[in-house]
Structure 1
Amino acid sequence: MTATVEVEQTVVRPVQFHQVGKAFGHGRNAVVALEQVDLDVAAGEFVCLLGASGCGKTTLLNLVAGLDKPTAGRIELHSSRPAVVFQEAALMPWLTAAGNVELPLRMAGVPKAERRAKAAELLELVRLGGLGDKRPHELSGGMRQRVALARALASTDDNTGANAGKPSLLLMDEPFSALDAITRDVLQGELLRIWRATGTAILFVTHDVREAVRLGQRVVLLSSRPGRVVRQWDVDGLSGSAEVGAVDEINAALRKVISSHAAA
């Protein structure tokens, strides 16, 4: 019994939400996006967020990334710099693929030789080895997202100073939604490979239940606005009929959430 308690206390959680709320505006015109959110992500865990449009999924990622601040509750961040991958790759068009990957390292003061070696390593990891000299307009949409992923991994790869020994955290906001079905399927598989290779914790926003079940170890459903955590599913390692059953169950819960939003 004592050993179990000790093991639980040593679990590292890159991010924890404690009764977090977020409102935009003030008084009667305020829009409450999130309310009383309790959520955590363990080191190396892959968590997918689902919910109706406007339920606060992106707002939640912005709070973790430090792009905004909660108006209630608190967020504990115990990770190296979290990085965000958006729907659009948002690459710097005047930089090469390698230059884009190097950018966060350069901003962090990493010496040139070291950052070039790291960029080359990360481009190899996302299967773009040998394409570091290409500019974004010379790459396909899927390739640009791979560069964006490599850049995000470079941003999280900071184990110096106050970040020494902290786990990494990657925030992904529907990164594959703008891609065609075949490219999306390929990149989903690639993301799983990269996640397993790096051990980076991932908080992944999607509207696609099948994508959530395929990628995530845990699926979290938010209510309609204001977003609250209403249900969670452990989907790690599911396959075959168990995976299909989980998709059907989560789809039913999501439809119920969307229906309640439409009726409000």
Structure 2
Amino acid sequence: MTATVEVEQSVVRPVRFHQVGKAFGHGRTAVVALEGVDLDVAAGEFVCLLGASGCGKTTLLNLVAGLDKPTNGRIELSSSRPAVVFQEPALMPWLTAAGNVELPLRMAGVPKAARRAKAAELLELVRLAGLGDKRPHELSGGMRQRVALARALASTDDNTGASAGKPSLLLMDEPFSALDAITRDVLQGELLRIWRATGTAILFVTHDVREAVRLGQRVVLLSSRPGRVVRQWDVDGLTGADEAGAVDEINAALRKVISSHAAA
């Protein structure tokens, strides 16, 4: 029903994994989180990463973000500085919404007038125009996550230094899992709108197969620990029965991965 994507070698890729492995600890007590991961994300592509708990999905994002280093293999990063959106917005409570969005720009040395204009533009993009003076505690959970998204987009779009002119990359680690179903559904739609408007490549971690199929152009399944790429599906533009069929097929593959790990 669905097929693995094969991207032409000439396509620009913000990130490439070459036989990447990651172990925590040493010797017999070492925990191998990832092993032999080969994965590409093309410029502007929306890739969803699926797998059982503990399979290394978040570890993979941390490696791309530079929060940790691979034990073996290498990561080829050809993007502007990647930004991460976590489950929790992690906003600075003493800063306004606009101040939070401006923060990465200020750290990058962007002049005050330019960063204020950019923050206003991004808040409008996430549909928070006019709320830039609000502090996090004055905003709903969904609004706080929108601010976190705007801040991440600012981080990928500082247009300064070595990052200038490079494709942007956004890393999202289950950003909607802590929200209620209605808010999550709304923000999924908003994320698609923002992705189409900005052309930012997205690597999105989720446990929810339906969310992955709805949002992604490509769904990548990792094995249980140590995480390896088991299979990939092209789900771009699927609707109706085709979308439902892809959800069933991917769910079956995910259950098989989880079952094989439990039986080991």
State TM-score, norm by structure 2. Answer: 0.97
Q: What are structure 2's unaligned runs of at least 5 residues?
A: none
Change in CA separation of 1:16 and 1:88 when aligned onto 2, cut-off 3 Å: same
SS of residue matched to 2:13? coil
Corresponding residue of 2:116? 116
Deviations, residues 72-114 of structure 1 (Å, cap 9, x unaligned): 1000000000000000000000000000000000000000000
- Give the distance between the partners of 2:45 and 2:89, measured in 1 at CA: 23
Deviations, residues 26-77 of structure 1 (Å, cap 9, x unaligned): 0000000000000010000000000000000000000000000000100000
Change in CA separation of 1:41 and 1:144 when aligned onto 2, cut-off 3 Å: same
Change in CA separation of 1:6 and 1:170 when aligned onto 2, cut-off 3 Å: closer
- Give the distance between the partners of 1:89 and 1:82, measured in 2 at CA: 16
> Aligned-residue CA RMSD in angstroms?
3.4
Greater shift after overlay, 160-169 or 244-253?
160-169
Change in CA separation of 1:240 and 1:29 when aligned onto 2, cut-off 3 Å: same
Matched positions, count: 264
Q: In the TM superposition, what is the alpha-carbon distance from 1:3 to its structure 2 partner? A: 24
Change in CA separation of 1:2 and 1:217 when aligned onto 2, cut-off 3 Å: closer
2:151 equivalent to 1:157: no
- Give the distance between the partners of 1:64 and 1:4, measured in 2 at CA: 23
- Give the distance between the partners of 1:88 and 1:99, measured in 2 at CA: 18
Change in CA separation of 1:3 and 1:180 when aligned onto 2, cut-off 3 Å: closer
SS of residue matched to 1:151? helix
SS of residue matched to 2:237? coil
The question of whether the paired residues in 1 share the 8 Å contact of 2:171 and 2:204 is answered with yes
Q: In the TM superposition, what is the alpha-carbon distance from 1:261 to its structure 2 partner? A: 2.0
Q: In the TM superposition, what is the alpha-carbon distance from 1:160 to its structure 2 partner? A: 2.5
Q: In the TM superposition, what is the alpha-carbon distance from 1:5 to its structure 2 partner? A: 17
Q: In the TM superposition, what is the alpha-carbon distance from 1:162 to its structure 2 partner? A: 1.5
Change in CA separation of 1:113 and 1:229 when aligned onto 2, cut-off 3 Å: same
Greater shift after overlay, 9-18 or 117-126?
9-18
- Give the distance between the partners of 1:95 and 1:130, measured in 2 at CA: 16
Deviations, residues 221-263 of structure 1 (Å, cap 9, x unaligned): 0000000000000000000000000000000000111112222
Change in CA separation of 1:29 and 1:154 when aligned onto 2, cut-off 3 Å: same
Change in CA separation of 1:143 and 1:256 when aligned onto 2, cut-off 3 Å: same
Corresponding residue of 2:32? 32
Corresponding residue of 1:99? 99
The question of whether the paired residues in 1 share the 8 Å contact of 2:2 and 2:246 is answered with no
Change in CA separation of 1:109 and 1:234 when aligned onto 2, cut-off 3 Å: same
- Give the distance between the partners of 2:98 and 2:217, measured in 1 at CA: 31
Percent identity reads: 95
- Give the distance between the partners of 1:113 and 1:164, measured in 2 at CA: 19
Q: In the TM superposition, what is the alpha-carbon distance from 1:158 to its structure 2 partner? A: 2.7
Change in CA separation of 1:154 and 1:31 when aligned onto 2, cut-off 3 Å: same
Q: In the TM superposition, what is the alpha-carbon distance from 1:163 to its structure 2 partner? A: 1.5
Deviations, residues 171-224 of structure 1 (Å, cap 9, x unaligned): 000000000000000000000000000000000000000000000000000000
- Give the distance between the partners of 1:261 and 1:4, measured in 2 at CA: 23
Corresponding residue of 1:230? 230
Q: What are structure 1's unaligned runs of at least 5 residues?
A: none
- Give the distance between the partners of 2:35 and 2:110, measured in 1 at CA: 39
